[in-house]
Amino acid sequence: MDRMQPTKNSIRRPARRGPQSDTSGGATGSGTAAQTEPVAVVIVSWNSRGYLAGCLSSLRGLTRPVRQVVVVDNASTDGTPAWLAREFPEVDLLALPTNEGFCRANNLGIRRTRAPFVLVLNPDTELETGFLRSLLPAFDDPDVGLACGKLLRFDRKTLDSAGQELARSRQPLDRGYGRPDEGQYDRDEPVFGACGAAALYRRAMLESIADGDGEYFDETFFAFVEDLDLAWRANKIGWRAAYRHAAVGYHARGGTAAGPLWRRRLAAMLGHRAEVRFHVAKNRYLTIMRNDSVAGYVANIPFIWARDLGTLALLLVTSPGVLVRLWRSRPLFARARAKGRLDARRTRNQV
């Protein structure tokens, strides 16, 4: 189905290009059912013109082409919409009048697609040519609802994410984050979730966890930690996440940041505006309230409370106004608990 000639909504490969090899390595699984199904891509942009050229060009070069690319622009002021129309006319552009946040913008973009698989990409990512050919066979297992590959920084040697795990502190833990890539994650294996910078989702999974009509990402999050929340909701009703090491991409996050992991994370938190700190803290508690079980929370109290005490102390010193906003957000946390009770009634096959 995806071998069709390019249309307005198809990403085209550059002209006069010869046969391409699958540089990512590993089995391609060209005979699998997943390999014949269309894939749509959704990219949320906010003043990201400097990154989009590399991201969209890498999609044009995929050996397994995609059916549709939707760019949802969150009211950029850098001329992104006009530039996209000129340089990448095949892209389906949804230009929003205001910044709706990462979660709502992704939901709007996903709703514009119909493909059985949706690749959510950050604009500051680029993919190797064999990314999809190596990743899609993971979905031959009907229990797999989401999948991810190996993300490196743009230096090509530092790991950004080899899949997400759920830390005992209830933080998202990107495997290998900030460490040299020495082949320690060069094996295919299950993971808890996928980093939202480059996550491939089965549409049936998205529909099975959606709040209402097409709210796949919880829009009360606005941005940050939403990928962990989505993966946790999928996990609760039996979907699994898969990591495929031969599906390689690159993510600009953090650039060439150096030093111990704890220092880099602290510097990142301190470097954020108060608005970002609020969403990061708020979304941590929304995720726990909605997804954690009483038994799971109690078993991990030392780790959770240690993280909370450190975060609250940091906010007290740097952003006391954020603590006030968190206190005023109590209705959101109560609503998250209510959503968790609704989640408990879901089944994977309810779509």
Altogether, the residues listed in the chain come to a count of: 351
197 and 302 belong to one structural domain: no
Q: Is residue 28 part of a domain?
A: no
Residues 123 and 157 in one domain: yes
* Inside any domain, residue 133: yes
Per-residue pLDDT of 163-206, as tens digits, reads 999 999 999 999 999 999 999 999 999 999 999 999 999 999 99
Q: What is the residue range of 68's domain? A: 34-251
Same domain, 272 and 206: no
- How far is it, in rounded angstroms, from Cα 118 to Cα 147? 11
Q: Is the pLDDT of residue 29 over 50?
A: no
pLDDT of 312: 92
Confidence of residue 258 (pLDDT cuts 50, 70, 90): very low
Residue where one domain finishes, among candidates 197, 225, 251: 251
**Statement to judge: residues 196 and 273 lie in one domain:** no
**163 and 195 part of one domain:** yes
Number of domains in the chain: 2
pLDDT digits 0-9 by tens, 145-158: 999 999 999 999 99
Tens-digit pLDDT profile for residues 108-130? 999 999 999 999 999 999 999 99
- The neighbouring-strand residues paired with 144 are 240
pLDDT, average across residues 31-45:
83
DSSP assignment string, 85-142: HHH-TTSEEEEESS--HHHHHHHHHHHT---SEEEEE-TTEEE-TTHHHHHGGGGGST
Q: Is residue 124 part of a domain?
A: yes
Last residue of a domain, one of 226, 251, 276: 251
C-beta pairs of 257-265 under 8 Å, 24+ apart in sequence: 257/178, 261/177, 261/178, 261/179, 264/178
pLDDT band at 350 (very low <50, low <70, confident <90, very high): low
237 with 216, same domain? yes
Whole-structure pTM value: 0.85
Alpha-carbon span 172 to 167, nearest angstrom: 6
Query: Would you say residue 332 has pLDDT above 60?
Result: yes
Q: Does a structural domain hold residue 1?
A: no
Same domain, 223 and 302: no
The answer on 158 and 133 residing in a single domain is: yes
- Does any domain span residue 14? no
146 shares its domain with 194: yes
120 and 230, same domain (yes or no): yes
Of 251, 285, 314, which one is at a domain's C-terminal end? 251
Q: What is the CATH number of the domain that holds 174?
A: 3.90.550.10
Q: Is residue 208 part of a domain?
A: yes
Flag whether 171 is in a domain.
yes
Pairing assessment for the beta strands 39-45 and 68-74 based on DSSP bridges: parallel
Among the listed residues 141, 151, 149, 131, the one whose alpha carbon sits nearest the alpha carbon of residue 65 = 131
- Residue 27's nearest CA partner among 247, 249, 284, 219 is 247
In a domain? residue 109: yes
The answer to whether residues 219 and 107 touch, using CB atoms and an 8 Å cutoff, is yes
Looking at the fold, whether 295 and 209 belong to one and the same domain comes out as: no
Residues 245 and 281 in one domain: no
The pairing of strands 172-174 and 164-166 is antiparallel
